[in-house]
Amino acid sequence: NAGVTQTPKFRVLKTGQSMTLLCAQDMNHEYMYWYRQDPGMGLRLIHYSVGEGTTAKGEVPDGYNVSRLKKQNFLLGLESAAPSQTSVYFCASSYITSGGNEQFFGPGTRLTVL
Protein backbone atom coordinates (compact mmCIF):
# COMPACT_ATOMS: atom_id res chain seq x y z
CA ASN A 1 0.00 0.00 0.00
CA ALA A 2 1.25 3.46 -0.89
CA GLY A 3 -0.81 5.12 1.86
CA VAL A 4 -1.37 8.81 1.11
CA THR A 5 0.40 10.33 -1.87
CA GLN A 6 0.53 13.97 -2.95
CA THR A 7 1.33 15.51 -6.33
CA PRO A 8 3.39 17.60 -6.95
CA LYS A 9 6.08 17.67 -4.25
CA PHE A 10 7.26 21.19 -5.09
CA ARG A 11 5.79 24.06 -7.09
CA VAL A 12 6.59 27.70 -7.71
CA LEU A 13 3.78 29.97 -8.91
CA LYS A 14 3.52 33.60 -9.84
CA THR A 15 0.85 35.74 -8.19
CA GLY A 16 -2.48 35.24 -9.95
CA GLN A 17 -1.70 31.82 -11.42
CA SER A 18 -3.87 28.82 -10.65
CA MET A 19 -3.02 25.25 -9.77
CA THR A 20 -4.46 22.03 -8.40
CA LEU A 21 -2.88 19.81 -5.77
CA LEU A 22 -3.81 16.14 -5.94
CA CYS A 23 -4.12 13.80 -2.98
CA ALA A 24 -4.72 10.08 -3.34
CA GLN A 25 -5.20 7.38 -0.70
CA ASP A 26 -5.47 3.62 -1.09
CA MET A 27 -6.73 2.76 2.41
CA ASN A 28 -10.46 3.09 1.58
CA HIS A 29 -10.80 5.89 4.16
CA GLU A 30 -14.00 7.90 4.22
CA TYR A 31 -12.48 11.09 5.58
CA MET A 32 -9.92 13.29 3.84
CA TYR A 33 -8.37 16.61 4.83
CA TRP A 34 -6.21 19.43 3.49
CA TYR A 35 -3.98 21.36 5.90
CA ARG A 36 -1.40 24.06 5.52
CA GLN A 37 1.65 24.29 7.77
CA ASP A 38 3.43 27.56 8.42
CA PRO A 39 6.32 28.19 10.83
CA GLY A 40 5.14 28.55 14.42
CA MET A 41 1.50 27.87 13.53
CA GLY A 42 1.20 24.12 13.52
CA LEU A 43 -1.25 22.62 11.03
CA ARG A 44 -4.38 24.54 10.07
CA LEU A 45 -7.35 22.85 8.42
CA ILE A 46 -8.32 24.30 5.03
CA HIS A 47 -11.14 22.01 3.85
CA TYR A 48 -12.18 18.47 4.57
CA SER A 49 -14.50 15.76 3.28
CA VAL A 50 -16.47 13.13 5.18
CA GLY A 51 -17.26 11.09 2.09
CA GLU A 52 -17.33 10.98 -1.70
CA GLY A 53 -19.15 13.97 -3.13
CA THR A 54 -19.06 15.97 0.14
CA THR A 55 -16.81 18.84 1.23
CA ALA A 56 -16.78 21.26 4.16
CA LYS A 57 -14.86 24.36 5.18
CA GLY A 58 -12.18 24.21 7.81
CA GLU A 59 -10.40 26.91 9.74
CA VAL A 60 -8.76 28.79 6.82
CA PRO A 61 -10.80 28.10 3.63
CA ASP A 62 -10.56 31.48 1.86
CA GLY A 63 -8.77 31.38 -1.49
CA TYR A 64 -9.07 27.60 -1.83
CA ASN A 65 -11.58 25.21 -3.35
CA VAL A 66 -11.79 21.42 -3.13
CA SER A 67 -13.49 18.52 -4.83
CA ARG A 68 -14.00 14.87 -3.87
CA LEU A 69 -15.41 13.21 -7.00
CA LYS A 70 -13.88 9.83 -6.15
CA LYS A 71 -13.48 8.33 -2.69
CA GLN A 72 -9.75 7.88 -3.10
CA ASN A 73 -8.96 11.38 -4.38
CA PHE A 74 -9.19 14.84 -2.83
CA LEU A 75 -8.20 17.86 -4.92
CA LEU A 76 -7.21 21.27 -3.60
CA GLY A 77 -7.41 24.20 -6.01
CA LEU A 78 -5.98 27.69 -5.89
CA GLU A 79 -7.79 29.85 -8.43
CA SER A 80 -5.61 32.96 -8.12
CA ALA A 81 -2.50 32.35 -6.03
CA ALA A 82 -1.27 34.99 -3.59
CA PRO A 83 2.08 35.24 -1.74
CA SER A 84 0.18 34.59 1.53
CA GLN A 85 -0.52 31.08 0.22
CA THR A 86 3.17 30.21 0.27
CA SER A 87 3.20 27.24 2.61
CA VAL A 88 3.62 23.49 2.94
CA TYR A 89 0.36 21.69 2.19
CA PHE A 90 -0.46 18.32 3.73
CA CYS A 91 -3.23 15.95 2.84
CA ALA A 92 -4.49 13.37 5.31
CA SER A 93 -7.05 10.60 5.37
CA SER A 94 -8.69 8.79 8.25
CA TYR A 95 -11.38 6.54 9.56
CA ILE A 96 -13.07 7.25 12.84
CA THR A 97 -13.35 4.70 15.65
CA SER A 98 -14.45 4.88 19.25
CA GLY A 99 -10.78 5.39 20.09
CA GLY A 100 -10.38 8.55 18.08
CA ASN A 101 -9.52 9.79 14.60
CA GLU A 102 -6.09 8.60 13.48
CA GLN A 103 -5.05 10.62 10.49
CA PHE A 104 -2.53 9.36 7.95
CA PHE A 105 -0.58 12.14 6.28
CA GLY A 106 1.03 12.46 2.89
CA PRO A 107 4.59 13.76 2.46
CA GLY A 108 3.50 17.33 1.70
CA THR A 109 3.66 19.81 -1.18
CA ARG A 110 5.93 22.80 -0.79
CA LEU A 111 4.35 25.76 -2.63
CA THR A 112 6.01 29.12 -3.20
CA VAL A 113 4.03 32.03 -4.64
CA LEU A 114 6.16 34.87 -5.96
- Return the residue of 21, 23, 29, 31 that touches another protein, per CB under 8 A: 31
Q: Does 22 bind another protein (CB under 8 A)?
A: no
- Measured at the alpha carbon of residue 10, what is the angle toward residues 54 and 56, in degrees to the nearest 5? 15
Annotate each residue in 36-75 with x if it binds another protein (CB under 8 A) or - if it does not, as one string.
Answer: ----xxxxxx--x-x-------xx----------------
The DSSP output letter for 82 is -
Instruction: Kindly tell me which of 26 and 79 has the beta carbon lying closer to another protein.
Output: 26
* Choice between 17 and 45, CB closer to another protein: 45
Q: Rounded distance, CA 114 to CA 104, Å? A: 30
From residue 103, give the alpha-carbon distance in Å to each of 24, 43, 56, 81, 110: 14, 13, 17, 27, 20
Rank residues 58 and 77 by Cβ distance to another protein and give the closer one: 58
Contacts of residue 42, Cβ cutoff 8 Å, sequence gap at least 6: none
Point out which residues bind another protein (CB under 8 A): 4, 31, 33, 35, 40-45, 48, 50, 58-59, 90, 92, 94, 96, 99-103, 105-108
